Amino acid sequence: MHAAKISKLTLSVFVLPCLILYVVLVFVPISVAAYYSLFQWNGIGEKLFVGLSNYSTMLAHDPVFWPSVWRTIMFAFFSMAEIPIALLIAVLLTRYVRKPNFLVSSYFLPVILSVVVIGQLWKSIYNPASLGGLLNNALDFVGLESWTRTWLADPEVSIFALFFVSLWQYLGYHILIQFTGIQNISQEVYEAAKIDGADGWKADRYITFPLVVPVFKISMVLAVIGSLKVFDMVMVMTAGGPAHATEVISTHMYNKTFAALEYGYGSAISIFLVIECLLATVLLNKLFKSSEDSMQ
């Protein structure tokens, strides 16, 4: 803290550009949306002030809203569950693969592909067998005809089919983060532990896992926020259908705002989304804080 004597004035001047950007790009749009959410407005004509009635409709009378929220939360849980798997793979890579960089990059590949490309790719994988769907044909081939279905058109499974694609795409991303986290742990710690008789899984249990927690936390936050905001994948593959079965908060907001021309109502949903994301971040931070404290 005492290393450099910098006046608060200088500090604020240097922080200013970022602050301005933040205010303009984040704070202003959110405030504008909050303002619009108080109106009944089709986005083009006259606005009609309706107070909080958009919010009460959203919370109490919209049959699509809560299922969408529930699906979004479920997706966040799936994404969180993916991260321990990513950590496990990262540990295995560090331990057993001599030149792991190639593998890590390959796992990372889906992340840099456009969601539209991935969506189209998986759409054709999920196609019915009669139309050359890879998955259904594979199931047929191994004698599991009874398992085949129209993955994206069956309301019972379509949302999971979507989740799977997203999880598949981002697995490599989290592996990369965990892998880098493990690489950053000093080798000396492991050597010292080895002398004390902690090797293999034992070393992981007492050294790798505790030391990788900060990185693990970043992954968790990214996964949760990413899944709360999920939009493009759903839009490309099903557009929320069939009959709202794959609707998540963001697609519901989009459809309400732009397809049904209920701009005010859409804004109310987007404010809900902002609050939900903030809540999730705070919650996760609290959770990790307590677990970090207990480890020290």
Partner 1 sequence: MKHAKRKSALLLMCSLLFVLTACSGNNGNAEQPTTAVKEGGDSKKQITLTFQNHYPDATDVQHKVMRQITDDYMAANPNIKIEVDSLNIDQQKIKLKTQAASNDMPDITVVNAAAQMAPFVEGGKLAPLNDILDRDGLGASFHSGILDYYTFDDKVYALPDGNNIAVIYYNKELFEQAGVAIPTTFDDLIKAAETFNGKQIIPMVVGEKETWTGSYFFMNILLRLAGPGYLSDVQAKTKDFMDPAFVQSVVKFREFIEAKGFQEGATSYDYDSAESLFTSGKAAMYFMGTWATGAMDDAEIKGKVGVFPFPTVDGKGDLDEYMLGPGTGFALSANSEHLEEAKDFLHYFMTNYPKVSFEFKNAVGVAQVVQGDFAQAGYSQLAIDVLDIFKKVKGGDIAFDNTMDPSTTQTHLNSIQNLFVSSIPPEDTAREHQNAFAANNQ
Residue 262 C-beta: closest distance to partner 1, Å: 6
The residue among 155 and 214 lying less far from partner 1, judged by its C-beta, is: 155
Binding piece for partner 1, criterion CB under 8 A, among 84-92, 173-181, 261-269, 283-291: 261-269
Binding piece for partner 1, criterion CB under 8 A, among 5-13, 188-196, 202-210, 274-282: 5-13
Residues within window 27-56 making contact with partner 1, judged by CB under 8 A: 28, 42-46
Cα separation, 89 vs 172, whole angstroms: 10
Q: Which of 258, 278, 285, 286 binds partner 1 (CB under 8 A)?
A: 258
- In DSSP notation, 162-220 reads HHHHHHHHHHHHHHHHHHHHHHTS-HHHHHHHHHTT--HHHHIIIIIHHHHHHHHHHHH
- Beta carbons of 283 and 276 less than 8 angstroms apart: no
Over the window 119 to 148, marking each residue x when it contacts partner 1 by CB under 8 A and - when it does not, the resulting string is ----x--xxx-xx-----------------
CA distances from 207 to 120, 182, 288, 289 (A): 42, 10, 18, 19
Strand 39-40 and strand 48-49: pairing?
Answer: antiparallel
Binding piece for partner 1, criterion CB under 8 A, among 87-95, 165-173, 224-232, 254-262: 254-262
Secondary element (H or E) of residue 227? helix 209-228
Residues within window 146-175 making contact with partner 1, judged by CB under 8 A: 150-155
Q: Which of 20, 275, 282, 295 binds partner 1 (CB under 8 A)?
A: 20
CA-wise closest residue to 82 among 208, 220, 282: 220
CA distances from 234 to 93, 252, 292 (A): 32, 11, 35
Cα separation, 116 vs 242, whole angstroms: 19
Q: Which of 177, 233, 245, 249 binds partner 1 (CB under 8 A)?
A: 245
Q: Roughly how many angstroms between the first and final C-alpha of the chain, as a whole number? A: 23
The residue among 120 and 183 lying less far from partner 1, judged by its C-beta, is: 120
Strand-pairing partners, residue 49, are 39
Q: Which of 2, 4, 5, 8 binds partner 1 (CB under 8 A)?
A: 8
Decide if residue 92 touches partner 1 (CB under 8 A): no
Q: Which residues bind partner 1 (CB under 8 A)?
A: 7-9, 11-13, 16, 19-20, 23-24, 28, 42-46, 123, 126-128, 130-131, 150-155, 237-239, 241-245, 255-256, 258-263
